[in-house]
Amino acid sequence: MRAILPADREYMTDHQSLLPLVLIQPDIVWENPAANRARYEKSVLAHASAGSVVILPEMCEVGFTMNANSGVDADASSQKFFGSLARRTGSHLIAGLVLPSPEKPTNSAVVFAPDGSLIARYDKRQPFTPAGEHLSYSPGTTPVVVDVLGVRVGLSVCYDLRFPELYRQQIDHGAEVLVVIANWPSRRIGQKIALLRARAIENQAFVVGVNRAGKDPTLDYPGRSMVIDPMGEIIADAGENAVVISHTIDLARVREWRDSFPALRDRVRP
């Protein structure tokens, strides 16, 4: 795996402004990696192209299950599959997978480069204790910011969204785009939208939230994958059904807003 950008690396000056996004909002087939892969292959091949960034939700092969063994990528077949999709389309691809670790599996966000290689892995730092996630999955410990087409992208997973300190760490690592993949249920969707907008406003960054639609055995999911600009405005919304949407963001908006309204520079650090 190529190195994830560390906190002490000098901010890159050779970076692009436009970032084409493809948000895949599926109705995940419960604990069935093969069925979900077949759907993703069709969606990615139909919508992704060279230079795009494809994003799929949390635990996209199995749904938000506490049966970690149902989806753990013990043989690396999941990574090979999504890496192959990235290579075949010439795109970057971000997906939520269950990965092995020394103790329990991890609920992770991974990034594949256009050559199919795995370039970043973020393990969800805040397990969702109300569902017992901490009993089935090991928590991560490290924030991750990865270089995607010269743009600094911070990775997070679902319940992480409620903990703003993670995103401050990503901003300190130079993040301009904050990606939140999730299986966020309908009963709390208003809170999710409010939190996504808050993370965008307070960090003067684009926030990209990718959620699932449909149902699992216990919960309904509302979709509402969205792109939010650095002022907190929703500029793309996928609605409630299983769908794929494309939207290009202009990073010049982040840079201009941070220069003209220097809230990040003005904050008092502890």
As annotated, the active-site residues are 58, 124, 158
* Number of separate helices (H) and strands (E) present in the chain: 7, 14
- Separation of alpha carbons 238 and 244, rounded Å: 7
CB 147 within 8 A of CB 111: no
Could you say which DSSP state residue 158 is in?
G
Residue type at 227 in one-letter notation:
V
**Rg, C-alpha atoms of the chain:** 17
With a CB cutoff of 8 Å and minimum separation 6, the contacts of 42 are: none
- Separation of alpha carbons 128 and 114, rounded Å: 32
Q: What are phi and psi of 129, to 5 degrees?
A: -60, -30
